[in-house]
Amino acid sequence: MKSLLAATLMLAISTPAFANDPAQLSDTEIAHVAYVADTIDIRYAHLALAISTTPEIHEFAKTMIRDHEAVNAAALELLAKLGAEAQDNFLSQKLASDSEEIINRLSQLRGAEFDRAYAENELGYHQAVNNLVETAFIPNIDHPEVKALFEQGLEIFKAHEGHAEMMVKAVQ
Amino acid sequence: MDRRTFVRGALGGALIPLSPGPIAAQGELREVSIRNFVYEPETLAVKPGDQIRFTNHDLAPHTATADDGSWDTGTLEKGQSVELTVTEEWTGDYFCAHHPAMTAKLIIG
């Protein structure tokens, strides 16, 4: 299953014709994208817990929920400390709308077909998000504490990418 | 069943310091820091009776869990520590139950 979201994210950072440039987002808009991206993966994980019966998929999904919730909590705490609010933007909205399509597709699958689709989507999604965070967001974040949080988040998501790669091989 | 599925049973992630067993807790206090998805140090020599303080400095929750399930810190949130006392039943290879690529080793002598 190709990741529609991965395609959206790759397009966002690589195509000059893309009208809105992720690198031009403000810190609070970037924070909103990150929050939405975390929340999307948490939703995918809950879907996996509901549909899959494979232990490796369940353990991975629980880790996604645990880790993405930790990052979101830290982001909200930082924003509160800074007296700021995350700002909705074109990329947050696109990610959210595209994720609905993926959830619809995944929710119609069962058994090994679901496991493969979920694992492949997770790998593609994390690859794309990591690329976006590393190349478009972190270099352009102004506030040092926001940058530091994204650097910590990137480390976590790279571990997820590696874990997803293991999972793809395990469910083939 | 491989080690990664074996150990996530009844403990449910709770912080459970193991009882000292037949060896009284008279050994040294050793430190293992979890930082950037790495256990520091990755190899640590210990003996029965030593206490090991595991501290998670990462934003992501981690565990330190013996490959054979003989000991487990449970889930450590950022900033949390737990002290475990090494017993003769312990084995040395361990990993993070949430992030299985994280591995380290105790040399128990």
Residue of A62, A156, A162 with shortest CB distance to B59:
A156
Q: According to the model, what pLDDT value does residue B13 have?
A: 42
Determine whether the interchain pair B59/A55 forms a contact, defined as Cβ–Cβ distance below 8 Å. no
pLDDT over 70, % of chain B: 77
| Residue A104 to chain B, least CA–CA distance (Å) | 28
Per-residue pLDDT tens over the stretch A23-58? 889 999 999 999 999 999 999 999 999 999 999 999
For B37, the token pair is 């998805």
> Is pLDDT at B1 greater than 70 in this prediction?
no
- Tally of CA atoms within 13 A in the half-sphere of A115 that contains its CB: 18
Determine whether the interchain pair A159/B4 forms a contact, defined as Cβ–Cβ distance below 8 Å. no
- Nearest CA to A39 among A5, A16, A7? A5
Per-residue pLDDT tens over the stretch B56-101? 999 999 999 999 999 999 999 999 999 999 999 999 999 999 999 9
| Residue A30 to chain B, least CA–CA distance (Å) | 19
B62 known ligand binder: yes
Mean pLDDT, chain A, whole residue set = 91
> Is pLDDT at A119 greater than 80 in this prediction?
yes
Q: How many domains does chain B have?
A: 1
For residue B99, what are the domain limits? 3-108
For residue B43, give the CATH number of its domain.
Answer: 2.60.40.420
Determine whether the interchain pair B59/A166 forms a contact, defined as Cβ–Cβ distance below 8 Å. no
Q: How far is CA B28 from CA B45, B46, B108, in A?
A: 11, 8, 13
A18 lies in some domain: no
Distance CA B58, CA A105 (A): 34
Q: What is the ipTM of this complex?
A: 0.85
> Is pLDDT at A88 greater than 90 in this prediction?
yes
Q: Which residue has the higher pLDDT, A12 or A138?
A: A138
Helix axes A111-132, A55-82, angle to 10 degrees: 30
Distance CA A46, CA A60 (A): 11
pLDDT over 90, % of chain A: 85
- Which of A38, A64, A66, A167 should be substituted to probe chain B, the one whose Cβ sees the most B Cβ atoms within 10 Å? A66
Question: Average pLDDT for residues A109-126, to the nearest whole number?
Answer: 97
> Is pLDDT at B16 greater than 70 in this prediction?
no
For residue A141, what are the domain limits? 27-170
Q: According to the model, what pLDDT value does residue A20 have?
A: 75
B98 known ligand binder: no
Q: According to the model, what pLDDT value does residue A21 have?
A: 84
CB B62 within 8 A of CB B102: yes
The pTM is what? 0.85
Distance CA A116, CA A113 (A): 5
CB B81 within 8 A of CB B55: yes
- Nearest CA to A33 among A168, A165, A166, A153? A153
- Asked if B3 reaches chain A (Cβ–Cβ under 8 Å), the answer is no
For residue A101, give the CATH number of its domain.
Answer: 1.20.1260.10
Question: Average pLDDT for residues B23-35, to the nearest whole number?
Answer: 84
Q: How many domains does chain A have?
A: 1
Bridge partners for B55 per DSSP: B33, B81
Residue of A55, A66, A74 with shortest CB distance to B61:
A66
CB B44 within 8 A of CB B52: yes
Q: According to the model, what pLDDT value does residue B6 have?
A: 36
- Asked if B53 reaches chain A (Cβ–Cβ under 8 Å), the answer is no
Determine whether the interchain pair B36/A155 forms a contact, defined as Cβ–Cβ distance below 8 Å. yes
